[in-house]
């Protein structure tokens, strides 16, 4: 079976040349800076638009392979993610096939990353003692970009196996689609030291909150693996198809919601402690959006419940696209509009649909918002708008094309205009600004770890460097990425690869930051590899599909009078 012009590969095959869809990149001006390398490139199923998967038509796994602009044909031939030799003696494979001299820190980072590997029954499975799903993503991308996909495949399969376990917290049973927050490899002394996996679905987490983001990251990583390797067979297995459907079913279940966004508890994502991100946090909505798009690309319509799930996903995407772009977006003009809102409006003609009280706008927003720039706010729900900036949600919004091209450019403008606030001396603020004093007491419950300008409360996290870099490449703002990477290179190794930094400018190693933090290492490596070979962006970027903004038309029963 051929899908969109790509030959089906064995899931056990070594790295194949993956497709770099022409729509995934806007980097043609870089063509003259690299020598041409002749590599056989094939398109993946990501070329299918939402229109081709419309709920009103017949979904098709096929697709034409023609129509590439000549310049993009040349671009695809020049860049080949994972197309070089495997790493030898810790040397990144990318440096063996590209004409650049790696920064000395790159070799130290690879050495640290390899020392963190965790094996299960002789097979590499992840990194660090407790393998957190979200934490492993940058490590997985680093291995994929370096032409080492097996560890990622092992991780995907073992995590999928854990999804099938019965999940209980006290006497309550979690949904079938829930993915673990983390798992450990333990040796069972009663069974002669045999290794076994022990998963945590939230029962061991602070506050006992299930990780909403784990399933989304798993789907996103499965798509990245497919893009990198060209191996469709893994995603098309009955087990993976079922895993995707279970995650989608849990997210798309009908309830009392009046919005297409996901209602979440506090602490259900990277910000896994009480920080006032309950409700509809931007991080979850952006990851949800990207997971929906990746699922739509990987689901098989001829699989059990495949077409039905695809129809539901497509319908949700239409609604979610409109909702996020309309109600979560804030720029100078929109801020001025909110400032002038009337309240207590009824009926469908209401302008202030969420009844946001203008007096609730914090003073700092008026000074923070530049005339050029904008961002997706942290949360929108009835009578509540969280105006804080959250980095991960905004960057994922760019990569998933939840943001329009104009909104994506405005987010990067904001980064430039507010460099000291959002980047400072160590990239990059997880949130801005910090909450303090009485507000900190009420919002965090006096959390001693999330004090002002520390940890999740305005702390600076080097791992976010890879997301910033990916967003910069997609929007053509590579100078921002290079400047941020240089800041990180000046201190990361010297400070012992800490988990996060404290202070308004990120000058101080975090007061409880762990050293030799694996995802700080991996985040740096992925950022470096993407800057040196921008075609890697195709693993974790989706081009805008204008069909998502078109209204969904379905036949309905007509009433006769």
217-254: pLDDT as tens digits: 999 999 999 999 999 999 999 999 999 999 999 999 98
| Mean pLDDT, rounded, for 38-45 | 36
Domains of the chain: 120-539 (1.50.10.10)
Which of the pair, 384 or 165, is modelled with greater confidence?
384
Task: Write out pLDDT tens, residues 443-454.
Answer: 999 999 999 999
- Indicate the pLDDT class of residue 4, thresholds 50, 70 and 90: very low
- 172-200 pLDDT tens trace: 888 888 898 888 888 888 888 888 888 88
How far, in whole angstroms, is CA 158 from its chain's centroid? 20
pLDDT at residue 487 tops 90: yes
pLDDT exceeds 60 at position 97: no
**For the residues 519-532, what does the mean pLDDT come to?**
97
Q: Mean pLDDT for the chain?
A: 83
What is the DSSP secondary structure assignment for residue 170, as one 8-state letter?
Answer: T
- Reported as type and span, the H/E element at residue 444 is helix 437-444
Give pLDDT, residue 194: 87
46 pLDDT above the threshold of 90: no
Determine how many CB atoms are found less than 10 A away from the CB of residue 100: 12
Measured CA to CA, the distance from residue 509 to residue 506 in angstroms comes to 8
| Residue-wise pLDDT tens digits, 331-368 | 999 999 999 999 988 878 888 899 999 999 999 999 99
Q: Are 378 and 282 in contact (CB under 8 A)?
A: yes
Segment 286-306 mean pLDDT: 95
Element (H, E) at 218: helix 213-229
Select from 155, 87, 110, 95 the least CA-distant residue to 524: 110
Q: In the structure, what pLDDT confidence band is assigned to residue 549 with cuts at 50, 70 and 90?
A: low
* Model pLDDT, residue 349: 85
Dihedral over alpha carbons 428, 430, 434, 438 (to 10 degrees) = -160
d(CA 205, CA 268): 10
C-beta of residue 85 within 8 angstroms of C-beta of residue 97: yes
**Per-residue pLDDT at 215 exceeds 90:** yes
Q: Taking the CA atoms of the chain, what radius of gyration do you get in angstroms?
A: 23
Under 8 Å between Cβ of 436 and 397: no
Q: pLDDT tens-digit profile of 391-425?
A: 999 999 999 999 999 999 999 999 999 999 999 99
CB atoms within 10 A of CB 108: 16
Handedness of CA 313, 547, 19, 394 (dihedral sign): negative
C-alpha 487/C-alpha 235 separation (Å) is 38
Higher pLDDT, 144 or 84: 144
216 in Cβ contact with 163 (< 8 Å): no
pLDDT of residue 129: 59
* Tokens describing residue 260: 């297409």
Helical residues (DSSP H) of 146-207, grouped into ranges = 150-163
Mean pLDDT calculated for residue range 38-47: 37
Separation CA 39–CA 335 (nearest Å): 49
Q: Does residue 28 surpass a pLDDT of 70? A: no
Q: Coil, strand, or helix at residue 361?
A: coil
324, 397 Cβ separation under 8 angstroms = yes
Q: In whole angstroms, what is the distance from residue 442 CA to residue 412 CA?
A: 32
């Amino acid at each position: 079976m051929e899908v969109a012009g790509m030959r089906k590969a064995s899931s056990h095959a070594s790295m194949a040349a993956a497709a770099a869809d022409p729509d995934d990149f806007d980097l043609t001006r870089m063509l003259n800076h690299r020598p041409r390398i002749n590599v056989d490139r094939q398109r993946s199923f990501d070329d299918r638009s939402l229109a081709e998967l419309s709920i009103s038509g017949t979904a098709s796994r096929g697709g034409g392979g023609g129509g590439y602009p000549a310049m993009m044909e040349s671009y695809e031939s020049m860049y080949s993610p994972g197309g070089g030799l495997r790493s030898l003696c810790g040397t990144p494979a990318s440096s063996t096939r590209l004409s650049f001299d790696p920064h000395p820190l790159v070799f130290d980072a690879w050495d640290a990353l390899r020392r963190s590997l965790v094996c299960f029954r002789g097979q590499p499975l992840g990194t660090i003692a407790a393998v957190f799903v979200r934490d492993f993503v940058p490590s997985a991308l680093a291995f994929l970009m370096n032409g080492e996909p097996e560890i990622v495949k092992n991780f995907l399969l073992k995590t999928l196996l854990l999804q099938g376990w019965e999940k209980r917290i006290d006497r309550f049973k979690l949904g079938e689609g829930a993915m673990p927050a983390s798992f450990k490899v333990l040796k069972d002394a009663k069974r002669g030291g045999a290794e076994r996996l022990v998963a945590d679905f939230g029962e061991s987490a602070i506050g006992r909150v299930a990780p909403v983001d784990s399933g989304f990251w798993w789907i996103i990583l499965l798509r990245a693996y497919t893009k990198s390797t060209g191996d469709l067979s893994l995603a098309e297995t009955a087990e993976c198809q079922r895993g995707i459907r279970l995650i989608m079913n849990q997210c798309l279940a009908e309830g009392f919601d009046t919005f297409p966004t996901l209602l979440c508890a506090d602490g259900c994502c990277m910000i896994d402690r009480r920080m006032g991100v309950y409700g509809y946090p931007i991080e979850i909505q952006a990851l949800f959006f990207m997971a929906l798009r990746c699922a739509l690309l990987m689901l098989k319509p001829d699989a059990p419940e495949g077409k039905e799930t695809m129809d539901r996903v497509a319908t949700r995407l239409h609604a979610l696209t409109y909702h996020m772009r309309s109600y979560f977006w804030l720029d100078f003009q929109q801020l001025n509009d909110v400032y002038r809102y009337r309240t207590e409006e009824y009926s469908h003609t209401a302008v202030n649909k969420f009844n946001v009280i203008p007096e609730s706008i914090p003073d700092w927003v008026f000074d923070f918002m530049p005339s050029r720039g904008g961002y997706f706010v942290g949360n929108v729900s009835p009578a509540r708008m969280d105006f804080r900036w959250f980095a991960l949600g905004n960057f994922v919004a760019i990569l998933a094309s939840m943001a329009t091209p104009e909104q994506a450019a405005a987010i990067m403008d904001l980064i430039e205009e507010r460099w000291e606030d959002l980047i400072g001396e160590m990239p990059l603020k997880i949130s801005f600004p910090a909450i303090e004093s009485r507000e900190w007491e009420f919002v965090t419950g006096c959390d001693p770890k999330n004090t002002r300008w520390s940890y999740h409360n305005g702390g600076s996290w080097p791992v976010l460097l890879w997301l910033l870099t990916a967003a910069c490449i997609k929007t053509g703002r590579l100078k921002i990425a290079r400047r941020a990477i240089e800041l990180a290179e000046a201190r990361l190794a010297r400070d012992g690869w800490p988990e996060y930094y404290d202070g308004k400018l990120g000058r101080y190693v975090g007061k409880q930051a762990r050293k030799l933090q694996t995802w700080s290492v991996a985040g740096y490596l992925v950022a470096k590899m993407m800057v040196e070979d921008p075609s890697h962006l195709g693993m974790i970027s989706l081009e805008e599909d204008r069909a998502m903004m078109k209204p969904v038309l379905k036949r309905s029963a007509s009433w006769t009078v």
